[in-house]
Amino acid sequence: GSPRRLLLVSNSTLHGGGYLGHCQEHIKSFLGEKVKRVLFVPYALHDRDAYARTARAKFESLGYGLDSIHESCDPVEAVRKSEAIFIGGGNTFRLLKALYDNSLIQEIRKRVLEDGIPYMGSSAGTNVATISINTTNDMPIVYPPSLQALGLVPFNINPHYLDPDVKSSHMGETREERIHQYHEEPNTPPVLGLREGAMLLVEGDKATLQGVTGARLFLRGKKPTEHEPGTDFSFLLIDSNLQN
């Protein structure tokens, strides 16, 4: 079995609450008491200093120190020394490009999949934890060398998943239609649509849906299915090539 431990959160802020407020109890139980400091990756936003201040204030309020990777003169070394990694939200393309530019893809994979340090992502940070960023909602404002991401799990996630509004007169494509278009391409992995307020906890070969909202699962060639918090999604951790 894999030693990986992941907390993949759909969104950083839930309506009516502050930054990471809706998942702070999950964060505390996930990081536990062994972790003292968290390495924060603010690459998804342009103003990295301001982003680091926001994240630092939150994590310090939970009892954890926070180091932002953009303040390190050697990002690779910062990953090698880290006790836990948190990648925040913003633009997924900007984030992935910076991970490639700083040679961090393989380093983060090794720390998480081989060394077993906890990895937490929210929004864009959840997107890059998966096979690829093909199912992000973001605009391609920059051009990463590849859409392949960290591959900490063998499927894709669509954070901030939105259901079609039956009362809306908007005639554009729904999120469900866009994911269906993705699955029209050959050999595309499952996509888990995480609604705001939902998160996926991965511990080794076990994956569990947590949070206050459900998720919608899209498997290529099958009808989407609805899932409540508490759902066991461990079957998604089996390589999707075997599922097709």
- CATH number of residue 182's parent domain: 3.40.50.880
Choose, from 12, 122, 123, 132, the residue flagged as catalytic. Answer: 123
Q: Catalytic: 160? A: yes
Q: Catalytic: 138? A: yes
pLDDT interval class at 169 (50, 70, 90): low
Give pTM, 2 decimals. Answer: 0.94
What is the pLDDT at residue 192?
A: 98
Choose, from 26, 70, 72, 160, the residue flagged as catalytic. Answer: 160
> How far is Cα 207 from Cα 229, in angstroms, rounded to an integer?
11
Supply the mean pLDDT for the chain. 93
Give residue-wise pLDDT tens across range 141-159: 999 999 999 999 999 999 9
Choose, from 22, 138, 183, 240, the residue flagged as catalytic. Answer: 138
Kindly state the average pLDDT of the residues 30-51: 97
> How far is Cα 211 from Cα 186, in angstroms, rounded to an integer?
32
Split into its structural domains, the chain has a count of: 1
Kindly state the average pLDDT of the residues 36-41: 98
Amino acid at 27: I
Query: Alpha-carbon torsion 197, 91, 155, 188, what sign?
Result: positive
What is the pLDDT at residue 1?
A: 66
Q: Catalytic: 146? A: no
pLDDT at 167 over 80: no
Q: Please, which residues bridge with residue 8 across strands?
A: 121, 200
> How far is Cα 74 from Cα 229, in angstroms, rounded to an integer?
39
Q: Are 195 and 214 in contact (CB under 8 A)?
A: yes
Residue span of the structural domain in which 206 resides: 5-242
What is the pLDDT at residue 243?
A: 45
What is the pLDDT at residue 47?
A: 97
What is the pLDDT at residue 19?
A: 84
